[in-house]
Structure 1
Amino acid sequence: MRTIYLNGHFVPETEGKVSVFDRGFLFADAVYEVVSVLYGKLVDFDGHVQRLARSLGEIGIIGAPDADDWLAICRELVARNNLKEGMIYWQVTRGSPEDRDFVFPPADTLPTVLAFTQSRTLADNPLAQRGIRVITMPDLRWGRADIKTTQLLYASLMKNEAIARGADDAWMERNGWITEGSAQNAHIITHAGVLITHPLNREILHGITRASVLPLVAQRIEERPFSVSEAEQAAEAFVSSASGFVMPVVQINGQKIGNGQPGSATVQLRRAYIDWARRTAI
């Protein structure tokens, strides 16, 4: 049985309990992070813990574990669950007041702190061999996509709609411009060999994997919005995320990208990122 961490204690998953008045449950008043694990080590830990601190600060949740505590929690979860490859999710809510109220609870209300593992194949993910198919859908999320909150309903609806329509996932667009995927940053490579990626602003999550991947790119990089039509006509496309690393995209809205197979530059970039992750994991 899986061991989880909840509010200072390591317990079996069946014993983890949270109040029905927890604001994460009632309002999605919570933020989260996910850290990949390779060979029992944490990938890009510093980037994830820093982004969590930023997300907490943006919505004013205080009292969460600091970086050293998170490191200890993650290593203990890895050991207790014998996790060799997969992810660790961290989630922090504003806590459990005595009753439901739109007004924040008193400042001394303790946050709810949860962490749990998921075993999953990451480095040898078979999806990377064939690439994924995406469709574009309107980006109807709230205006602070840069905060990694647990408000994931629209992303979940999009992904399920994409699957129902024969694709693997969705890319969101605003006024014809791609923002990002349901849980990934989106990138294209033009026929001139230029990698284009959306700039960091409030419209997208500031991806930790994105930040580590871009220095490994051999092509020229342009951080700018790109259109749906530009994506459909690209030479290559891919997404980056903590759980997918660098994942080739081979079809957009039914249009083959390149020859419909993972592009060579994307395949090389995935290998480079996995090599980097293995060298730097802690």
Structure 2
Amino acid sequence: MVQSDQANGRAELGAFLRSRRARLRPEDTGLRTFGERRRVPGLRREELAQLAGVSVDYYVRFEQGRAANVSDAVVGAVAAALRLDGTETGHLHRLVRTASGASRAPGAAPAPAAPAAQRVRPGLMNLLASMPGTPAFIVGRRTDILAWNPLFARLITDFSALPEARRNKAWLVFLHEETRGRFVNWETKARDLVGYLRLDRGRHPQDPDFARLVAELSEHSVEFRRLWELQEVREKTHGGYHLRHPEAGEFTLAYESLSLPDDPDQTLIMYTAEPGSPSEAALRILAASTLDPATVLTGAPA
């Protein structure tokens, strides 16, 4: 299992670095090409090695996950040469650790072979129940939807009618027609979601359920396969989406994501509307038609 995880980690590392090299042109980095024709886009390995200040042989081994005792300084130099942002740099550090067989940070507790099922604390359930006018939910690993309030279900879909295995944001956005239809700019939502899913995959390389989810989505969705191959990683803490609902029409909601301090793999997400806007009026229409707004539903009781 360890060898398999390490081999998968090396493949992930190589694919990520190749995708980041491909998006940079030599002229963007100050390198001169003298008008030569290139068979593939982006930086060559030797050019990236030059920018990072390492030998070509070392960078080749680095990209293949075969370099021993890679320092944070080297990872930082490669990240800087590739012009990675903070989220991408953190992802690169995790991939390097996994590829080297050290998939956890120094001093951290060993990761379990199979991560335990996530549970939502009663206090958080009460918090969701206290916001009947705000669509809110708690998302866990793999974008599993762990708990939600009735207004969020009214906004997206009746999660309680779905098998627990289908209460997953990625599965719903790509393979559930009702949920997919809620997002006017579906491509933006899909790209954000895949970027977050890949980021989360890097955090949990030993979780077998991740591989099963990615395999299922890849098999049934051409769009997911295309976006997954882009190797993008995104940390979405806030933003907004243009939504549509058969009862309230089209409207725009902003969202805020708050990671829980006692379990960073759980995130509380809340949707809000601009005060006094048509979007707020649309949200009120949905809230008024939501039955028993004090009820909170969950697929994983504490």
**TM-score, structure 1 as length reference:** 0.25
| Structure 1 or 2: more helix by fraction | 2
- Indicate the structure (1 or 2) with the bigger Cα radius of gyration: 2
**TM-score, structure 2 as length reference:** 0.24
